[in-house]
Structure 1
Amino acid sequence: MQIKEISPVILSLVAKINESMEIYEHASNRFTEEYIEQRLHQLSKSKRLHIKEIANIFEADKQKLIEAVQKMNDVEVEKEKLNFNNLVDIDDEGSLWKYFIEKERSLIQQYNKILAEQKYDEFQQAIMQNHVAECKREKNELQKHAEMAE
């Protein structure tokens, strides 16, 4: 499969998913008990830090985790918008790419249908214009014949 078959919107979403997963994993790994104990031990060695500063450091870590979770939620919303429920397994690259290709084909078919309808409408309009022009010519000819007959 060639990458050019996949639309930039879908590639962008895949990149966002990957980035969000990495951020989320990194942030959630930071909040293990081991990490907290290690962090407290490091902070307690530093006599310059007050309790308030330690609390601020943990608050910053907590904010990073919240942001990562929010990013994951945003990606979930985007996945819902693209109807990812049709995928068997989000981690299964085969079904993911298959879904993307099917989505692309569906969009192309919709575009072609709209284009075909538009061309048909233009064709119908041209036929009507031709018919109107023909009727005007016939009317003019009949008027000429009527004038000659008088």
Structure 2
Amino acid sequence: MSIKASTREEAFRFLDRKKVLKENREYSERAGYPTYFPYGDSSIDYRVTDLGCRIEVVRDGEAQNIWILDEEPKSVTMTIGLIETKKVLSSITINEVKELTYENVVGFVYEALDDGKPGIIYHIKDGTTVSFHVNEIAYTLMK
């Protein structure tokens, strides 16, 4: 399910009807994005993160996004170095890095993939995503 809002303010009005969400500055500095908790208390299992083109809401470990429609997401080109294991002899394998480039990337998140293992999901401007397990990624470059 995809939730959309016309503006960031509209999304926050919907999320914070009782006006209890407060930014936790220490958490925000570590995350790199403004992050809000009820009363600013990060021990409460409810977090709202302003990621620019979307608002991420995490409650009871479940994440949901509210996409902001009126703001054009800033997009970048990302080059992802994927580790490939190749067998060169029956008892010898080597790791090589293969580069994949994606245009119009508007963001990425670190979370468990469908198989439960940690991964990174890259969000593309057209609404599609691409994901990789973290142990497959050698590096990520942004341009």
TM-score past 0.5 threshold? no
Which has the larger strand fraction? 2
Tell me the TM-score range normalised by the shorter chain: under 0.3
TM-score, structure 2 as length reference: 0.17
TM-score, structure 1 as length reference: 0.17
Which has the larger helix fraction? 1
Higher relative contact order (CA 8 A, sep 6+): 1
